[in-house]
Amino acid sequence: MAWRPVLLAVTAVLVVTAGCTTLSGQSAEPTAVTPAPVPEQTPGENGRSLVPGLATERVVDAEALAAAHAGQVRNRSYTLSMDWAAAGQERESLLRVENERRYRYRSETATGGYGDRSFVDGGTRFSRHERPLGVEYVTGEAVPARERVSGLTRRLVRNFLGVGNSTVTVREGETGRYYLVRTTHPEPPSLDDVHDFRARARVDPTGLVRSMDLAFRNPRQNTTVRYSFEYTALDETAVDRPTWVKQVWPNATGGDRQRLSDSG
């Protein structure tokens, strides 16, 4: 359980907070983060506009870019992979979305025997929680995929791509043109215990932030925190009912909590 004090704090800040993200890697109460202010611009100061909030010279409006990103995954199927690490511990998550009311979510730690799986079908969430002492199955009320996890990516874009100095490079890849955004700041004034902050993002011409990596140093805990996400299989992700759901709830009407010593 040595991973939990740091990673649970990072996870809670990243996933639970709706309007603020400290990413400090510690359990202190999160401090509200205001996106970096956009200075008054003169015509042409930031170069040619590429997508909302992004110009050829820099990120000009992280809020507009985040909104464009969220719009590109709305009402689409996709697979979203996420990884974060701190203090030598790692956690990996995978969200597969067929639509907002049908998706599967998996999150696991590299060590420690902890893992969570969920399947959402309509208004019901079926969950499987792996712990060192056994496995627990439980049902609950479902929330749309964007509220469960994927809304996190919008907050990351909004709160962090507008921090510090940013650069934009036009690149050509196997799937066509994209924009590589880099941003750095030695000590962002709006982020507690965040030093040597850096982020990199790949932005499609549609405004979708297809991938993003960020890292910073927490001097108080003397550790480096890293987080990344990537979207794949857009419009190509289908979600089947997991085997463990079929076994535990063959009629999909189960609601009793049960703890098992074995996985199902």
Question: Tokens 């066509």 sit at which residue?
Answer: 176
Residue 205 has pLDDT above 50, yes or no: yes
Structure confidence at residue 252 (pLDDT): 67
Structure confidence at residue 159 (pLDDT): 87
Give 89-102 pLDDT, tens digit per residue. Answer: 899 999 999 999 99
Predicted TM-score (pTM) of the model is: 0.80
Rounded distance, CA 133 to CA 260, Å?
9
Give 41-96 pLDDT, tens digit per residue. Answer: 333 456 799 999 999 999 999 999 999 999 999 999 999 999 999 988 899 999 99
Between residues 130 and 191, the one the model is more confident about: 130
Structure confidence at residue 46 (pLDDT): 67
Give 8-42 pLDDT, tens digit per residue. Answer: 444 433 433 333 333 334 433 333 333 334 343 33
Look at the alpha carbons of 216, 218, 221, 222 in this order and tell me if their dihedral is positive or negative: positive
Structure confidence at residue 216 (pLDDT): 93
Give 100-120 pLDDT, tens digit per residue. Answer: 999 999 999 877 778 999 999
Give 140-180 pLDDT, tens digit per residue. Answer: 999 999 887 768 899 999 988 988 889 999 999 888 999 99
Q: Where are the domains of the chain?
A: 4-28+47-260
